């Protein structure tokens, strides 16, 4: 026995009534937050990007609203944003029923990409005015993001320099084969000064002019000699073009060790996610982020794969953005170096920054190694160390080292009087010789002691906990 199904009337061809978005969107919806924030921003820099003549453009505030709201919902494709503007009531309300296509959205995004950084600064300052953040504490961490470039487009600095040196030798050999007075004059001092693409271009032009001024060859030998001269000039042109390519590569690499052909700004580095577990390098960037109360306060991209070299430039980025440095800095052991500790100390910061062995020292079962020179007794007045057997290790000199950023570090060198016949010899050290030598960086050890006291204090424990759990999203 069948029963009749009772449903509401349905006809998709009937007239639809307009929906008021203000009634459908709640007052605490995030889309209203985006609308309110953008309305309070200063977009005068955006206006300079538009021309007074031509077709009327979409309002930059409206375009910025829909892009920011799309990014907040993990939508980055221009085509998907276009689809949302046509279908989603939140985007329709933001756009006030305007319908920019994906080409317009992409053009706007590329047009204002340099001004977005200023928008980020305005939003952070707005959060500071509202009391959500103070901009006095900076919780720092970094991550490596992979570039879209192919992993097989690598260019290594050492390889380019090696090939460039070989090319210089080929150019010298080729010029020695060319029997011309012009070439001999140019190559007279070529053993000292390297050839440049500009110098080779000038030389090739003079060779062509000299060749064209000669009479037309008549016999077979003259014709063969003319063909050989043309061949040598063409080979010299190839060497010039290759030399120019090498120089451009070195200019793009700059102070880095590598780059990608399709993304010259990317540097090859080891990523955290290594599926093959073989340490393969991939093109990427080192992204540094600072946060406070789950709000990102600053960001910067660096080509350096190590975090140690990025801390000071990142502080300078914060200084340039907000006009002052933070009074408190919290970071992990990847940033603990003498150069960074000294910078923060001179800037008057409270540096809750770990050093490389801090975690090991905090373990409950940790026992200091009595044969490590950090655990030797040091007499600061007379400047000597005492080994585990009680023998004095006197200072014999100083060694200097230089970091990649140019910072010079000094270490004191101490030497034992005589380790021959010592019963602790094998436990103490395994190097050759009967006098153990140690190097001690006193300034770094002083910074480590200060960092250990800060990190182990009650405030240090609180700051470390906030960085791990409450400061980053």
Residue carrying the six token digits 């030598």 = 437
Tokens of 264: 């010259």
Our CA angle for 58, 59, 65, nearest 5°, is 110
Closest among 311, 252, 318 to 286, alpha carbons compared: 311
Q: What is the mean pLDDT of residues 253-260?
A: 90
Tokens of 409: 């570090």
pLDDT reported for residue 6: 64
CA distance 390 to 449: 24
Phi, psi of 335 (to 5 degrees): -110, 0
Average pLDDT, the chain: 87
pLDDT tens-digit series, residues 260-280? 999 999 999 988 776 666 678
13 pLDDT higher than 70: no
Per-range mean pLDDT, top range of 80-84, 130-134, 293-297 = 80-84
Please tell me whether residue 312 adopts helix, strand or coil conformation. helix
pLDDT reported for residue 163: 95
pLDDT tens-digit series, residues 452-469? 999 999 999 999 888 875
Q: Grade residue 25 by pLDDT with cuts at 50, 70 and 90.
A: confident
pLDDT tens-digit series, residues 209-251? 888 888 887 888 888 888 888 898 899 999 999 999 999 999 9
Which DSSP letter does residue 59 get?
A: P
Q: Among 202-216, 319-333, 338-352, where is mean pLDDT lowest?
A: 202-216
Q: How far is CA 298 from the centre of its chain?
A: 14
For the entire predicted model, the pTM comes to: 0.80
pLDDT reported for residue 190: 47
**CA dist 161 to 187, 248, 340, 414, Å?**
22, 12, 32, 39
pLDDT tens-digit series, residues 35-69? 988 988 888 888 788 877 778 888 889 999 999 99
CA distance 336 to 355: 5
Looking at per-residue pLDDT, the higher value among 459 and 17 belongs to 459
pLDDT reported for residue 183: 56
Q: What is the mean pLDDT of residues 197-212?
A: 88
Closest among 159, 160, 163, 145 to 266, alpha carbons compared: 145
CB under 8 Å to 125, separation ≥6 — which residues? 322
Q: Grade residue 473 by pLDDT with cuts at 50, 70 and 90.
A: very low
CB under 8 Å to 304, separation ≥6 — which residues? 267, 286, 310, 404
The DSSP code sequence of 10-41 is: --TTSPPPPP-HHHHS-TT-HHHHHHHHHHTS
Tokens of 18: 């307009």
**CA dihedral of residues 201, 204, 209, 214 (deg, nearest 10):** 180
Which DSSP letter does residue 308 get?
A: G
CA distance 289 to 335: 13
């Amino acid at each position: 026995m069948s029963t009749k199904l009772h449903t509401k009337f349905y006809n998709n061809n009937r007239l639809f009534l307009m929906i008021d978005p203000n009634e459908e969107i709640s007052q605490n919806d995030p889309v209203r937050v985006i609308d309110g924030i953008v309305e309070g921003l200063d977009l005068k820099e955006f206006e300079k990007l538009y021309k007074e003549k031509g077709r009327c453009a979409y309002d930059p505030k409206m375009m910025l609203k829909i892009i920011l709201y799309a990014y907040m919902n993990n939508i980055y494709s221009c085509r998907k944003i276009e689809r949302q503007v046509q279908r989603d009531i939140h985007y329709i309300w933001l756009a006030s029923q305007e319908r920019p296509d994906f080409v317009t959205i992409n053009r706007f995004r590329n047009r204002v990409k340099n001004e977005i950084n200023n928008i980020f600064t305005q939003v952070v300052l707005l959060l500071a005015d509202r009391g959500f953040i103070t901009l006095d504490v900076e919780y720092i961490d970094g991550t490596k993001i992979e570039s879209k470039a192919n992993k097989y487009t690598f260019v290594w600095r050492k390889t380019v320099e090696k090939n460039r040196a070989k090319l210089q030798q080929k150019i010298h050999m080729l010029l020695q084969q060319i029997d011309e007075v012009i070439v001999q004059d140019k190559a007279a001092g070529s053993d000292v000064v390297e050839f440049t693409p500009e110098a080779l271009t000038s030389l090739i032009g003079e060779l062509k002019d000299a060749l064209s001024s000669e009479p037309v060859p008549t016999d077979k030998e003259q014709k063969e000699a003319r063909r050989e001269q043309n061949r040598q000039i063409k080979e010299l042109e190839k060497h010039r073009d290759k030399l120019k390519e090498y120089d451009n590569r070195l200019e793009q690499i700059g102070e880095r060790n590598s780059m990608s052909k399709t993304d010259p700004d990317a540097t090859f580095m080891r990523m955290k996610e290594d599926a093959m577990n073989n340490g393969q390098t991939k093109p990427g960037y080192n992204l540094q982020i600072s946060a406070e109360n789950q709000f990102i306060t600053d960001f910067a991209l660096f080509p350096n794969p190590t975090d140690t070299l990025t801390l000071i430039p990142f502080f300078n980025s914060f200084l340039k953005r907000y006009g002052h440095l933070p009074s408190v800095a919290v970071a992990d052991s990847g940033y603990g170096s003498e150069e960074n500790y000294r910078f923060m100390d001179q800037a008057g910061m409270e540096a809750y920054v770990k050093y490389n062995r801090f975690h090991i020292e905090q373990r409950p079962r940790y026992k200091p190694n009595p044969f490590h020179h950090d655990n030797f007794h040091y007499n600061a007045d007379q400047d000597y160390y005492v080994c585990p057997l009680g023998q004095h290790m006197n200072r014999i000199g100083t060694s200097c080292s230089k970091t990649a950023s140019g910072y010079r570090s000094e270490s004191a060198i101490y030497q034992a009087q005589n380790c021959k016949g010592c019963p602790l010899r094998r436990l103490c050290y395994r190097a050759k010789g009967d006098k153990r030598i140690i190097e001690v960086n006193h300034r770094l050890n002083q910074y480590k002691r200060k960092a250990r006291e800060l990190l182990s204090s009650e405030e240090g424990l609180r700051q470390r906990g906030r960085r791990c759990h409450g400061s980053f999203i």
